């Protein structure tokens, strides 16, 4: 079976967490909206009033007749099917907990350049964005990174954030570090040395053969100023 | 076994979604931080560097030796154990998807009174809050309610949002409607008639014997201006 991933075709965004998991799992998939007439198909699903289990928004994943939406929920599904999460209940829930925690940070990063409304341009909320990003980089990003560092430090012999085996939470941690480093290079230069274990996990994810091949391929969309992690010089403190 | 719930003792907040599920399931639990020395115990867990699977923030639930954090993740756990979610994979994932969608709305409601930073007082971001709440009530709340109405309309014979049986997503939908009605009575007076199925589910949840008993008990903390759903006259448009 080939998965169909539905997500905005020109950004990494939230879809990137799903792409990374599918790539690491070597699971066959089509990135539908990047193919011809793909956007139309995505919109048709979003608008179909007869759908019993519709998605609220992209990303969503079609697996046979199943349609699964919400990034963390898609990863819960893929993680179980492709060995990207522990099999035992406690381990499986902890990986999901880490994913939801990273998702909270991702939402905060988005809101830092759109503190008033997603429907307005960044240019229409620039002053508020500067204020909010100050708090994000002074308080929130350090708190999230410190938390991940603490989890890694608590089980020193574990290679990955949730134990001996790589999970989708490691892939997502890599993506968050990559995004923060793109958006806030100056802030991250200051923060990285204080979180050596986090940086090490991110580097080891990037070096995994399938991830490395993906990152070097045209399937990896470059970071840009339409996505969640945006580089605006004025915001990088 | 008696669950131990850890959450801020003076607000409904995100913990309320967990409280509602435990109450409907008639699962024995202690609301630890509301008991003597409970806050100290909660803080000790949050600060314990040896904990292999620490929570990032409340709420978290102790079930025997397991510690589960992140609201939606706790509900995933409780839902499976207490029949508040379907047993089949597709149904279980759909209920979780609905929960995560409602969680996104809850985060947006929070940020509407704290658009710049959680660490600042509302009074220090009042102007921005007014602007953001305008967008919340004009665009976002209607979009989320329309989505829930659409899900309910797509399976007209189903009594609940994910099918024939009540799930934790129904309990959470009730809580969101209750919160919005408290925070924005004028806006909800306008929105409620357009979403009869959503309002009907919320009313039927409130009328369930265990939920009704809970809501009438001192265990239900009243809405207030320290929680997520806050009533500020100036923001209710």
Beta carbons of A142 and A191 less than 8 angstroms apart: yes
Beta carbons of A96 and A17 less than 8 angstroms apart: no
Query: Is B70 within 8 Å of A154 when comparing Cβ atoms?
Result: no
Domains and CATH numbers, chain A: 3-81 (3.40.30.10), 89-217 (1.20.1050.10)
Beta carbons of A203 and A192 less than 8 angstroms apart: no
Instruction: Report chain B (237 residues): mean pLDDT per 10 consecutive residues.
Output: 97 98 98 97 97 97 97 98 97 98 98 95 94 96 98 93 97 98 98 98 98 98 97 90
Q: Give the gap in angstroms from C-alpha A163 to the nearest C-alpha of chain B.
A: 9
The string of pLDDT tens digits covering residues A62-103 is 999 999 999 999 999 999 999 999 999 999 999 999 999 999
| Cα–Cα distance, B114 to B124 (Å, whole number) | 9
Rounded (5°) CA angle A26-A57-B128: 125
pLDDT at A2 over 90: yes
Q: What is the pLDDT of residue A157?
A: 87
- Residue A52 binned pLDDT confidence (cut-offs 50, 70, 90): very high
Enumerate the residues of chain B whose CB falls inside 8 A of the CB of residue A72.
Answer: 72, 100
Q: What is the pLDDT of residue B237?
A: 74
Enumerate the residues of chain B whose CB falls inside 8 A of the CB of residue A117.
Answer: 131-132, 135, 139
pTM of structure: 0.98
Enumerate the residues of chain A whose CB falls inside 8 A of the CB of residue B147.
Answer: 54, 56
Three-state secondary structure call for residue A86? coil
Q: Which residue of A has its CA nearest to B112?
A: A116
Q: What is the pLDDT of residue B225?
A: 96
Give A221-232 as a DSSP string.
PPP-TTSSS---
Which ipTM did the prediction report? 0.97
Q: Which residue of B has its CA nearest to A73?
A: B97
Query: Is B53 within 8 Å of A94 when comparing Cβ atoms?
Result: yes
Beta carbons of B214 and B20 less than 8 angstroms apart: yes
β-pair partners for B31: B5
User: What angle do helix axes A71-81 and A15-24 make, rounded to 10 degrees?
Assistant: 10
The shortest CB-CB distance from A115 to any of B49, B100, B115 is to B115
| Cα–Cα distance, B227 to B13 (Å, whole number) | 5
- A237: tokens are 């403190």
The shortest CB-CB distance from B73 to any of A52, A97, A154 is to A97
φ, ψ dihedrals at B62, nearest 5°: -100, 125
Average pLDDT value for residue range A119-129: 94
Peptide bond into A124 cis (omega under 30): no
Q: What is the pLDDT of residue A227?
A: 97
Enumerate the residues of chain B whose CB falls inside 8 A of the CB of residue A156.
Answer: none
pLDDT at A156 over 90: no
Q: What is the pLDDT of residue B157?
A: 87
Is beta strand B60-63 parallel, antiparallel or unpaired with respect to B3-6?
Answer: antiparallel
CA distance to A142, A143, A152, A191, A223, per residue, from A149 (Å): 10, 10, 5, 12, 25
Interface of B with A (CB under 8 A): 49-56, 66, 68-70, 72-73, 76-77, 89-90, 93-94, 96-97, 100-101, 104, 107, 111, 115-117, 119-120, 128, 131-132, 135, 139, 144, 147, 150-151, 153-155
φ, ψ dihedrals at B61, nearest 5°: -125, 130
Continuous H helices in chain B: 15-24, 38-47, 71-81, 89-113, 126-135, 141-154, 168-183, 185-191, 196-206, 209-215
- A171: tokens are 């892939």
């Amino acid at each position: 079976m080939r998965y169909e991933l539905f997500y905005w075709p020109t950004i990494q965004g939230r879809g990137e967490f799903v792409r990374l998991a599918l790539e690491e799992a070597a699971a066959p998939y089509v990135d539908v909206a990047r193919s011809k007439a793909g956007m139309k198909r995505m919109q048709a699903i979003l608008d179909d009033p007869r759908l019993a289990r519709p998605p609220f928004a992209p990303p969503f994943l079609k697996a046979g007749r199943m349609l699964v939406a919400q990034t963390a929920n898609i990863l819960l599904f893929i993680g179980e099917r492709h060995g990207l999460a522990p099999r035992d209940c406690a381990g499986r829930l902890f990986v999901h907990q880490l994913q939801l925690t990273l998702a909270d940070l991702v939402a905060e990063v988005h809101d830092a350049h759109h503190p008033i409304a997603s429907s307005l341009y960044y240019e229409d909320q620039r002053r508020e964005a500067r204020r909010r990003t100050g708090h994000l980089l002074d308080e929130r990003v350090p708190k999230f990174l410190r938390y991940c560092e603490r989890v890694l430090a608590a089980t020193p012999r574990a290679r990955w954030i949730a134990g001996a085996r790589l999970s989708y939470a490691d892939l997502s941690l890599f993506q968050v570090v990559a995004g923060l480093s793109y958006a806030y290079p100056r802030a991250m230069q200051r923060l990285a040395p204080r979180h050596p274990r986090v940086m090490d996990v991110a580097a080891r994810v990037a070096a995994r053969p399938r991830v490395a091949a993906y990152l070097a391929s045209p399937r990896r969309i470059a970071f840009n100023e339409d996505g969640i992690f945006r580089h605006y010089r004025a915001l990088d403190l």
